[in-house]
Amino acid sequence: MSVRGIRWAIALPCVVALAGLARSAVHSGLAGEVAYRSAQEIATWSASGSEPGLQTVDWLLSDLAAADRSAPGDPNVEELLGNLAARRVDRPEFLDEALVHYRRAVALRPTSPYSWADIVAADYRKGATGAELDAALRNAAMLGPAEPEVQRTVIDYGLALWDEEPAETRRAVEATVTAAMKRDPAETLQIAERRGRLAVACRHLGDAPRRVDSEWRLLCMSREEQ
Amino acid sequence: MMKKISVLLALLTLFVADVAMAAGAVVTSLSGVVNVQTGSAAPRILRVGDEVAQGDTVVTSANSSVVMKFDDGQIAALTANSRMQVSAYSYDPPTQRGNILLSLVVGGMRAITGFIGHNQPNSVRFRAATATIGIRGSDGMIVTDGTNVSVTVTEGAFTFTFAGETITIPAGSGAFGANGQITPGTAQEVFNKLPANFQSAIGGLEGLTNAINQAIQQGPQGQQGQNPPGTPGPNVPPGGTGGGSASSR
């Protein structure tokens, strides 16, 4: 083979590989763009407190599904598809679909405490309070100890299931309560009170660096006396 | 990279917004086993702090009870072996107006009205079997076995429509609708004439008084609630205090 032939033999696969990579990058970029637009759109609905029409949801779903097909494996797209499905409170079967997406999201990005927290919320709403929810609670607590939104979910559902949890999960939930009491004691006490588990939060009243409303302190003291 | 961060931030916003969405009622007290069913989904166990929304059906088992507090402060307490559907519930906190329709299929319910009942009494209705109950007051007990219905009023007045007849029941009085007719009387007289299962349901509801008072005292609160604990107290007319969202996610 001539030198020219050898050059071609090396260059051609490189060009093909580069073209493939460019195509993949374009698809990934487009998927990212769709995910970005979709997340912004959904955030607008949430901020306004109004639910969009079915047509808008369908339009967003088809965009995201197309993005998923062209660039599979984007955890953001999976999470958004899950969030869209989970919004369909009128159709509980959509929770199963949401869970499929959330599970894919954690498989693609197992370090995201938000995806684990999404699984916690979806499983709880579905009434599936088994091993998956338990593992998701612990993972969310472990991966997002300082994330306010993750803290809220872990404390809310963790305290709801307090009596049914293994000791290890209870420790993880209580560690999150400790962290949340340092961040926002009033909010944490309020969640604990709503779940009928005020004593768990009251135990960490001393950890709270911020001033806690005296009414909460009195309530904690009265519960101790009981 | 910036775009990915933006998507993550937007997802985070979504997460926060979902947490803050209001729903309907929050379970403030519960004993025994209580289930909730949403549409055609399988029933799931209800726990303290859970939300109950429009379209949900709450079912209490034997030796079980539940107290729920709606976003507007409306209380609904169910005794054992009851089945109640939240047929309609909407509430607009800024205007303190909305609409409530609770359908008691079977069992006993004590209902104490909140902001909606105070501002728009005609927008609060209860159904029990074939009877319709409207309110002109704030506190009453409804019991049904699926056919017959008893209503006892503690505060204010209820209108009771049964078998095509409508009467107004003032505080301290009651009525029993059975065999196509309504028998009114004082609360005690009506109670004495009720079948044993009705009397037992009323006894069960009276046993929930402490839990109901606690729910009233808590004030509407949730993760986004603004009220400190302890407001408003029992029998405080709605409108002066409270009014935040009772739900969280």
Best A194, A221, A226 residue to mutate vs chain B (most B CBs within 10 Å): A194
DSSP states along A83-124: HHHHT-TT-THHHHHHHHHHHHHHHH-TT-HHHHHHHHHHHH
Helical axes A75-86 vs A93-108, angle rounded to 10°: 160
CA distance B225 to chain A (A): 8
Q: What's residue A120's pLDDT?
A: 97
Which chain B residues contact residue A95 at CB under 8 A? 41
B225 touches chain A (CB under 8 A): yes
Listed as ranges, residues in chain B with pLDDT below 50 are: 12-22, 220-249
Q: Do A114 and B11 touch (CB under 8 A)?
A: yes
pLDDT value, residue B236: 31
Q: Does the bond joining B232 to the residue before it have cis omega, within 30 degrees of 0? A: yes
- What pLDDT does residue A70 have? 79
Mind telling me how many Å the CA of B114 is from chain A's nearest CA? 19
Residues B104 and B78: their CA atoms lie apart, in Å, by 9
**Pairwise CB contact (< 8 Å): B49 & A159:** yes
Class of domain B23-248: mainly beta
Which chain B residues are Cβ-neighbours of A32 within 8 angstroms?
3-4, 7
Residue A200 contacts residue A223 (beta carbons within 8 Å): no
Determine the angle formed by the axes of helices A75-86 and B2-20, rounding to 10 degrees: 20
- Highest averaged pLDDT of the listed ranges A110-114, A207-211, B232-236, B238-242: A110-114
Number of Cβ atoms within 10 Å of the Cβ of B233:
11
Report the pLDDT value the prediction gives residue A226, as an integer from 0 to 100: 61
For the ranges A3-12, A13-22, A164-173, B228-237, the maximum mean pLDDT occurs at: A164-173
Write the residue in B15, B21, B39 that is nearest to A90 by C-beta: B39
Separation in Å, CA A167 to CA A25, A41, A143, A174, A192 = 46, 41, 19, 10, 18
- DSSP per-residue letters across A36-96: HHHHHHHHHHHHHT-PPPHHHHHHHHHHHHHHHHHS---HHHHHHHHHHHHT-TT-THHHH
| Mutation for testing the A interface, residue in B4, B9, B15 having most A CBs under 10 Å | B15
Chain A residue closest in CA terms to B26:
A194
Q: Which of A38, A46, A112 to mutate to test the interface with B (most CBs of B within 10 A)?
A: A46
Backbone phi and psi for residue A183, each to the nearest 5 degrees, phi listed first: -80, -55
Q: Full-prediction pTM beyond 0.80?
A: no
CB contact under 8 A, B10 and A40: yes
Q: Range with the lowest mean pLDDT among A11-20, A65-74, B193-202, B225-234? A: B225-234
Phi, psi (rounded to 5 degrees) for B85? -110, 135
Given this model, what pLDDT does residue B20 score?
36
d(CA B184, CA B201): 19
**CA dihedral angle for residue A193, residue B115, residue B113, residue B230, rounded to 10 degrees:** 30
Task: Report the pLDDT value the prediction gives residue B2, as an integer from 0 to 100.
Answer: 54
The pLDDT of residue A99: 96
Q: Which residue has the higher pLDDT, B205 or A212?
A: B205
Name the 3-class secondary structure at B152: strand
Amino acid at A146: A
Chain B residue numbers with beta carbons less than 8 Å from the beta carbon of A42 are 10, 14
Q: Are B102 and B84 in contact (CB under 8 A)?
A: yes
Beta bridge partners of B159: B134, B168
pLDDT value of position A167: 96
Strands B124-128, B97-112: pairing kind: parallel
Of A40, A89, A149, the CB nearest to B19: A149
Residue A22, exposed/middle/buried by CB under 10 A (0-12, 13-18, 19+)? exposed
In B, minimum Cα distance to A75 occurs at B8
Among A12-16, A33-37, B28-32, name the one with the lowest average pLDDT: A33-37
Contact residues on chain B for A93, CB-CB shorter than 8 A: 40-41
Q: What is the pLDDT of residue A28?
A: 67
Identity of the amino acid at A162 = W
Token pair, residue A110, equals 């197992």
Whether A104 has a pLDDT exceeding 80, the answer reads yes
Q: Does B60 touch chain A (CB under 8 A)?
A: no
CA angle B220, A157, B10 (to 5 degrees): 85
Count the neighbouring beta carbons within 10 Å of the beta carbon of residue B78: 28
Instruction: Determine the Cα–Cα distance for residues A171 and B77; give it in Å rounded to an integer.
Output: 33
| pLDDT the model gives residue B159 | 94
Is pLDDT at A25 greater than 50 in this prediction? yes
pLDDT in the model for residue B72: 94
Q: Answer yes or no: do B248 and A216 touch at CB < 8 A.
A: no
Which residues of chain A lie closer than 8 angstroms to B230, CB-CB?
A: 215, 219
CB-CB: which of B18, B49, B218 is closest to A46?
B18
Of B14, B21, B50, the CB nearest to A43: B14
**Partner residue facing A187 (CB), from B10, B218, B223:** B223
**With contacts defined as CB-CB under 8 Å, which chain A residues touch B26?**
194
Task: Specify the DSSP class assigned to residue B41.
Answer: S
Q: Write the pLDDT tens digit of every residue in A144-187.
A: 999 999 999 999 999 999 999 999 999 999 999 999 999 999 99
B42 touches chain A (CB under 8 A): yes
Residues of A in contact with B29 (CB under 8 A): 196
ipTM of the complex: 0.73
Check residue B56 and give left, alpha or beta (phi > 0: left; psi -120 to 50: alpha). Answer: beta
Contacts of B13 (CB under 8 A, 6+ apart): A39, A43, A46, A47
| Residue of A149, A159, A187 best to disrupt the B interface, most CBs of B under 10 A | A149
What local confidence, expressed as pLDDT, does residue A123 receive?
A: 95
Give the start-to-end residue ranges of the domains of chain B: 23-248
d(CA B70, CA B210) in angstroms, rounded, equals 18
Whether B221 and chain A come into contact, CB under 8 Å, resolves to yes
What length is written for chain A? 226
Read off the DSSP letter of residue B26.
E
Q: How many CB atoms lie within 10 A of CB A51?
A: 15
Q: How far is CA B88 from CA A20, A89, A211, B111, B125, in A?
A: 55, 15, 41, 15, 10
Q: How close is the nearest chain A Cα to the Cα of B4, in Å?
A: 7
Instruction: Pick B7's closest partner by Cβ from A36, A95, A160.
Output: A36
| Res A44 pLDDT > 70 | yes
